[in-house]
Amino acid sequence: MCGDRQLTYRELNARANRLARALLARGLGREGVVAVVAERNLDWLAAVLAVFKAGGVYLPIEPHFPADRIAAMLSRAGCGLVLTEPASTATLDQALRSLPGFRLLFVEAGYGEDHADGNLGVDVAPDQLAYIYFTSGSTGEPKGAMCEHAGHGQSSVRQDRRSGDR
């Protein structure tokens, strides 16, 4: 439950599965970074689960962050895909203007696509990245900390297999 909305676990799982398939249809690969820019609600929860179910890496971004901070986080994380909702795009739109090549998917649009809602069966390994969390850092410059599905934290300078330092 969230506010006046409620979902059963079955409904939440089905939404997350449809959204995960929408991410895969847009080319999300293993450990591909997906920013979720949304208020904390049931759609946010489905979006986070969808990223994990698709084998992606969750990058949480608060919709009220300043545009330059959002742009820095997206860029430093090597993110190319953003899940959001219409009410959360004010500063996100400004941030994306300075960063070409981003794909934007609205959660409701992903639900509405013609994807199956059964479990995906994507293999996710314990040592696979689960999320990147940015902290302010001692210099005030956002620093990304990474965590694997097994829960072991990684250094912000971990050499990633795909795109260098995060």
Q: What percent of the chain has pLDDT over 90?
A: 71
Highest mean pLDDT among 48-57, 61-70, 91-100: 48-57
Across 150-166, average pLDDT:
49
Query: Which pLDDT band holds residue 163 (cuts at 50, 70, 90)?
Result: very low
pLDDT at 158: 41
Which residue intervals of 26-137 are DSSP H helices?
42-53, 67-77, 90-97, 107-112
For residue 94, what are the CA distances in angstroms to 27, 35, 97, 105, 143? 24, 15, 5, 16, 21
pLDDT at 152: 60
* pLDDT score of 83 more than 80: yes
Parse the chain into domains and list their residue ranges: 9-165
The domain defined by 9-165 carries CATH number 3.40.50.12780: yes
Residue 115: how many other CB atoms lie within 10 Å: 18
